[in-house]
Structure 1
Amino acid sequence: MYQVVIVEDDPMISMLNTRFTEKDGRFHVIRTFEAGNAAWEYLRIHAVDLVILDVYMPQMSGLELLHRMRAAGVSAEVIMITAANDSETVESLLRLGVADFLVKPFSYERFRQALDNFCRRKEALRGGSVNQQNLDRLFVDAADPIAAPNLPAPKGMQAKTLEHILEFLSHTDEQYTCEQISEHVGLSTVTVRRYVNYLVEIGRVQSEINYGTGGRPSIVYRRM
């Protein structure tokens, strides 16, 4: 599970960001801060995976905090959430390696897309080496509005059904059989099996064989 810190001076927005983040079972918010100074004191000695950071805050701006993080070698990825949308600010943040940039007000779907892109990068870089397919997932899929977040549906399949199954798997890091997915999404096991096998083919879902059932081994699926 990815460890997340949220830095936002508005308590209501901070609470909203926390709720949005923890709707996705791959993430856990371990701390929230209302000021950049307190966040910096924590981040310089604690390793986290992701920081969700506002630009305009008291004591220390998000841009200054990000400068300090990078200068100190803090490798956590950063998603900026702010009302700032001038090109100079955006360019400065991109030079500092911001993973995504969301302008208030934003939708939950756009927020979830930022989390999905973060997980896609982590998965593609896992294992210490990358191939062309992994690089394409990093750079091509993230830039393609059809590949992410919308899914291309082959003949005989419905895009909404693909997204429905993928949305269910996105909210947990557990593994499920086709029968278990069927119970949660309200589709037949045969239909679920056909759709999840396609999602495996296009690299959006991972399948494994579970030998620990005590009976016949079963195939289980989880979101990548």
Structure 2
Amino acid sequence: MIRVLIVEDDPMVASINKRYVESIEGFSVVGIAANGEEALKLIKNKDIDLIILDIYMPRIDGISFLKKIRQNNITTDVILVTAAKETDSFDQSMALGAVDYLVKPFEYERFKKALENYKKRHKILSGKDVVRQEDIDKITWADSSEKEKSTPKGLHIKTLNRVRDYMCKRSGVLVSADEISKALSITKVTVRRYLEYLASIGEIEIEVEYGAVGRPTNMYRFIK
């Protein structure tokens, strides 16, 4: 299990990021820090593999935090998250060893890809005293034999991500297609198509609810 620390000063964003992380197999959030000072204390007391680090925070910002841990020879991997698009912060984070860089607002798929890429890297390097060239190539080069799953015909990636994000935010709670339709202003028929696709790839599960009268209703739950 890859142990993750989330460093984010917005409690709502931190909660969403936690759900995102734990929706991906092989990851567990072991701590949440609201600023760099809290994160420094946590990293000294917990065994952490990966830090998801916001750049703009009070007290100690993300770049300063990253500098501090590197100065203390803490080599924990870091994925930077920021609303800024400045070249300077990107260059600094890469120079300090960040393994990826996410610009808000990012979609769930991009977040998921960042963690899956990291999991691949972690699996290859974990516990190895000697790294071979082929190991490095697997991390640094795109594997041409590995093809991205394409969105089925008739489904649009932006709508899919809206439905997925809505379900993720209500992880563990049964919701109806009608509820999602009203919340996202998408027709119920369209919502059902996206839910059926997410169920087919194992991201959500379906439960049938039988009322006293009328037809049974399908209820949907996001799978962590």
Report the TM range for the smaller structure's normalisation.
0.5 to 0.7
Structural mapping, 1:51-200, within 5 Å: 51-126=51-126, 127-141=128-142, 150=148
Contact 1:51–1:77 (CA<8 Å) still a contact in 2?
A: yes
Task: Give me the whole-angstrom Cα distance separating, in 2, the residues matched to 1:88 and 1:102.
Answer: 15
Secondary structure of the 1:92 match is helix
Query: How many aligned residue pairs are there?
Result: 154
**Percent identity for Structure 1 against Structure 2:** 34
Contact 1:36–1:65 (CA<8 Å) still a contact in 2?
A: yes
| Structure 1 segments of 4+ aligned residues over 3 angstroms from their partners | 146-149
User: Partner amino acid for 1:47?
Assistant: D
Task: Give me the whole-angstrom Cα distance separating, in 1, the residues matched to 2:23 and 2:82.
Answer: 21
Q: Tell me the C-alpha RMSD between the 2 structures.
A: 2.2
- The structural deviation recorded for 1:65 is 0.7
- The structural deviation recorded for 1:11 is 1.0
Contact 2:7–2:53 (CA<8 Å) still a contact in 1?
A: yes
After superposition, the Cα gap between the structure-2 partners of 1:148 and 1:79, relative to the gap in structure 1 and judged at 3 Å, is farther
In structure 1, the gaps of 5 or more residues are 152-158, 162-183, 187-224
User: Partner amino acid for 2:116?
Assistant: D
Render the CA deviation track for 1:86-124: whole Å, top value 9, x for unaligned. Answer: 111110111000010000000111001110111111122
Which residue of the partner structure matches residue 189 of structure 2?
Answer: none
- The structural deviation recorded for 1:160 is 6.4
Contact 2:6–2:51 (CA<8 Å) still a contact in 1?
A: yes
After superposition, the Cα gap between the structure-2 partners of 1:134 and 1:18, relative to the gap in structure 1 and judged at 3 Å, is same
Contact 1:82–1:102 (CA<8 Å) still a contact in 2?
A: yes
After superposition, the Cα gap between the structure-2 partners of 1:86 and 1:160, relative to the gap in structure 1 and judged at 3 Å, is closer
Which residue of the partner structure matches residue 28 of structure 1?
Answer: 28
- The structural deviation recorded for 1:44 is 2.8
Secondary structure of the 1:90 match is helix
User: Partner amino acid for 1:71?
Assistant: Q
TM-score, normalised by the number of residues in structure 2: 0.63
In structure 2, the gaps of 5 or more residues are 153-198, 202-224
- The structural deviation recorded for 1:130 is 3.0
Which residue of the partner structure matches residue 41 of structure 1?
Answer: 41
Contact 1:51–1:79 (CA<8 Å) still a contact in 2?
A: yes
Contact 1:5–1:48 (CA<8 Å) still a contact in 2?
A: yes
Task: Give me the whole-angstrom Cα distance separating, in 1, the residues matched to 2:90 and 2:145.
Answer: 24
Task: Give me the whole-angstrom Cα distance separating, in 2, the residues matched to 1:38 and 1:135.
Answer: 34
Structural mapping, 1:195-210, within 5 Å: none
User: Partner amino acid for 1:134?
Assistant: D
TM-score, normalised by the number of residues in structure 1: 0.63
- The structural deviation recorded for 1:23 is 0.2
- The structural deviation recorded for 1:39 is 1.0
Task: Give me the whole-angstrom Cα distance separating, in 2, the residues matched to 1:6 and 1:48.
Answer: 10
